[in-house]
Amino acid sequence: MIVRMTPLNKTLLLLLAGLLPAATVAAQNYPTRTVRVIVPGPPGGGADTLARTMATKMAENLGQQFIVDNRAGASGIIGTELGARAAPDGHTIQIGHSGTHAINISLRKTLPYHPVRDFTPLMLIASMPNILVTHPSLPAKSVKELIAFAKARPGQMTYASAGTGFSQHLAGVLFCDVAGIQMLHVPYKGSAPGMTDVIAGNVMMMFPNTTAAFPHLKSGRLRGLGVTSLKRSDIFPDVPAIAETLPGYEAIAWFGFFAPANLPEELKRRLNAEMVKAISDAKVSETIRKLGGTASSNTPEEFLTYVNAEIVKWAKVIKSAGIPQE
């Protein structure tokens, strides 16, 4: 087929010829100024530590400043909305997690951002399991024994969490669904008071993060029955994965970097490559391991597929739990 070259076609070709090299040059010269890294949480938290670790290494590799901007509040919504509204030029990126980009959308009637449409996923950087812990007085010494114990006492077993809709609560809901048991959820205003009551024997179990549970497991004040990742944790190699008893069970906190929607393709590839390079550093991987996590890296397309799957997964769990939207 012969396409006639009209003046309009010539103009469009000239425009495209001018735009494409400019985008490539912009990616090659990136970054041209300070990069802002938004953390939708307070200083000192897991997301903050991960963001600062990666930002420090990327700044070192790229020879440009990366400034962490903590914007805590509203279960990560405040900072995440700010990240969504930034200019898509690569000079503002945001660390997001399972709460901000997979769970909030099912917990809120109105969310000021969409976790997929308003972002360009860049890379998954880490995943962190929780761990099922019980008071030592509980007779069950394995996940299998705990399930049998709970089935004999429907609705009588209790588990604590940092609050309704938090990851610890949803890990428990998913556990009950997969195991076919009924347990009573006891929400607290934060993880620490819930942990205190489990240690005191007032509540039977909990699904805290591995870092918070570590000293209590080491002292014998709590017993670890299973981690919530598909495989065992490096921190607790002797503690089985719950999935070894309940195949497919997984309830992890994950963290990744996002840019605003409509980020140019060349910049997306450049940022992903720089993140892969940073997370491959031994010191960065070791920091993640000390947090109880596993370092990850993938393509933007793989990360997008993962985020979409997590949204669907947690929507089903939240519906099963009957959690009302706020």
Both 179 and 311 in a single domain?
no
User: So what's the pLDDT on residue 19?
Assistant: 54
Alpha-helical (H) ranges within 89-166 are: 98, 104-107, 143-151
Closest by Cα among 312, 315, 309, 318 to 124: 309
Note down the domain range covering 60: 33-128+252-321
Distance CA 236, CA 172 (A): 20
Residue 266 in 3-state DSSP? helix
244, 262, 280 — which closes off a domain?
244
Q: Cis (ω within 30 of 0) for the bond into 31?
A: yes
Both 91 and 140 in a single domain?
no
Q: Which phi and psi angles does 260 have, rounded to 5°?
A: -60, 160
Both 108 and 60 in a single domain?
yes
Residue 223 in 3-state DSSP? strand
Looking up residue 207, the CATH number of its domain turns out to be 3.40.190.10
Query: Does residue 26 lie in a domain region?
Result: no
User: So what's the pLDDT on residue 147?
Assistant: 98
Looking up residue 45, the CATH number of its domain turns out to be 3.40.190.150
Both 210 and 231 in a single domain?
yes
Structure tokens at 273: 């490559």
User: So what's the pLDDT on residue 1?
Assistant: 41
Closest by Cα among 194, 75, 203, 54 to 130: 194
Cα distances from 314 to residues 23, 73, 169, in angstroms, run 37, 21, 12
Both 238 and 136 in a single domain?
yes
Distance CA 297, CA 125 (A): 6
244, 270, 305 — which closes off a domain?
244
Both 135 and 235 in a single domain?
yes
Both 111 and 138 in a single domain?
no
Q: How many structural domains are present in the chain?
A: 2
Query: Does residue 20 lie in a domain region?
Result: no
Query: Does residue 18 lie in a domain region?
Result: no
- Could you list the pLDDT tens digit for every one of the 326 residues in the chain? 444 445 455 445 545 555 555 667 677 889 999 999 999 999 988 899 999 999 999 999 999 999 999 999 988 999 999 999 999 999 999 999 999 999 999 999 999 999 999 999 999 999 999 999 999 999 999 999 999 999 999 999 999 999 888 889 999 999 999 999 999 999 998 889 999 999 999 999 999 988 889 999 999 999 999 999 999 988 889 999 999 999 999 999 999 999 999 999 999 999 999 999 999 999 999 999 988 899 999 999 999 999 999 999 999 999 988 988 88
Query: Does residue 155 lie in a domain region?
Result: yes
Both 259 and 239 in a single domain?
no
**pTM for the full predicted model:** 0.87
